[in-house]
Structure 1
Amino acid sequence: MKILYSFAIFCLLFSCQEKQNQTIVVSKPTVSNDSVVLLIDAKWKFSTPSYSTKNHAVMSNWDEWRQLLLLLESKPAQSVHAYKAKIEEVYKQVELLENSIPEGYNNKAVLSRINLLKTHSSQLDMYMELTHLPHKELTNLIGLMQKDIVSIVLQFEEVHTKKSIPKEENEPTKIIVDTDRKATLNAWE
């Protein structure tokens, strides 16, 4: 009887091991690069953001910005190679923005938004170098770049609004706070 039970357990364990060794290969349905290009082409809808009258002169005189918008507005041919070349051009143009911000608008907020656009265009360039293009990531990054451009324009509006606030006569240009005098050592209490 013991031999029969041990034989049954041995058969069960042996049969379970065979099933574990068998691997089922399930391939994901892959999307061809041509259909990814069609998806990118449908998402590639960059338009010039509207400027207020107060910022129109500043934005229209910023040559690197105008060239970037012209690059983004023109769609390349519907091929992987054309989009790779276009995205490389866009990335190079975004790199030029950082060093050519108009005077008076070169602050941390504007610079951080330009760096965000630079990061997204760099990621887009990186994804385009892959053999199998990930369509979700690419279309997501294009949408993020569209938001980044609007964000830069809105930040220019905010900088201009802050500049237009009148200062009082005795108001200092910078408020200096001496944190050393206000600091207390409460670590031992």
Structure 2
Amino acid sequence: MKYKIALFLLLIFALQSCQNENDKRLAENEKEAKKNEKIFNNINKAWIFIDEPINEVSEQNVRNWNEWRDFLKELGDKPRKTIGAFQKKSTAISKKALALNNNIPSQFNQPQIKARIAILITKVKMMDLFIHLNQIPDDKVAFLIGEINKELVSLERQMDKIVEKAKIPKEEGEADFLRMLDTTRAIPNSAPPLDQNLPRVE
């Protein structure tokens, strides 16, 4: 009889313990869901990219430079509903950003444009990395969205500067002067090396 009572009490204790663990697990799941909802809302609020050209030059590039057009279009399509949708969109934006290095129009195939594209790609990749972490730092993702927008503006303004600079007429002889400054066109030193054994006048 004692054994039956002890077994009965042990069974009640085990059931009570399972109930407590279930309650604890449900509370943790609810807490995690609220946290994820907050992260989603913060990213959703911050997810605003400058997907429209800010100047005439950039507008022309949308028509002529496919990679630029595709990148801006990808930025313009805002994901909805889940954090997973934002993660997929971030990966797609990252791929389109990498493609900007391809087929750069000859007019813009210059170091200052390539440098700005490289910075833009780096910031897009950082955003993609942060949004794919298990614990998403939504503040960093929001900050990087702002940084990406700044880089977009910087890139488009640099394109505009290049076009405006090309419109300035060159002065007579300026082209020859610039060619003379080009060190890659310099005449190689073809003088024979000095013989160390020859007497020198001092």
> Scaled by the length of structure 1, what TM-score is found?
0.72
Q: Which runs of 5+ in 2 are unaligned?
A: 1-30, 184-202
Are the structure 2 counterparts of residues 109 and 62 from structure 1 closer, same or farther at C-alpha, using a change threshold of 3 Å? Answer: same
Residue 50 of structure 1 is matched in structure 2 by: 54
Corresponding residue to 1:82 among 85, 102, 115: 85
**In the alignment, structure 1 residue 140 sits paired with structure 2 residue 165:** no
Query: d(CA) in 1 for partners of 2:103 and 2:182?
Result: 32
Residue 94 of structure 2 is matched in structure 1 by: 91
Are the structure 2 counterparts of residues 55 and 69 from structure 1 closer, same or farther at C-alpha, using a change threshold of 3 Å? Answer: closer
Q: CA deviation at 1:60?
A: 2.4
* Cα shift readout 1:33-57 (whole Å, capped 9, x = no counterpart): 32112111111112313222x5532
Aligned partners of 2:53 and 2:59 also within 8 Å: no
- Counterparts of 1:31-180 in structure 2 under 5 Å? 32-47=35-50, 48-52=52-56, 56-172=59-175, 173-176=178-181
Aligned partners of 2:94 and 2:121 also within 8 Å: yes
Partner secondary structure for residue 61 of structure 2: helix
Please identify runs of 4+ aligned residues in structure 1 that moved more than 4 A. none
Query: d(CA) in 1 for partners of 2:164 and 2:179?
Result: 17
Partner secondary structure for residue 32 of structure 1: helix
Aligned partners of 2:97 and 2:120 also within 8 Å: yes
Partner secondary structure for residue 108 of structure 2: coil
Number of equivalenced pairs = 149
Residue 184 of structure 1 is matched in structure 2 by: none
Partner secondary structure for residue 100 of structure 1: coil
Aligned partners of 1:38 and 1:78 also within 8 Å: no
Aligned partners of 1:120 and 1:145 also within 8 Å: yes
Q: CA RMSD in A?
A: 2.1
Are the structure 2 counterparts of residues 32 and 100 from structure 1 closer, same or farther at C-alpha, using a change threshold of 3 Å? Answer: farther
Query: d(CA) in 2 for partners of 1:78 and 1:106?
Result: 39
Q: What amino acid does structure 2 have at the position aligned with 1:109? A: Q
Q: CA deviation at 1:149?
A: 1.0
Q: CA deviation at 1:98?
A: 1.0
Identity of aligned pairs, percent? 29
Q: Which runs of 5+ in 1 are unaligned?
A: 1-28, 179-189
Higher helix share: 2
Larger radius of gyration: 2
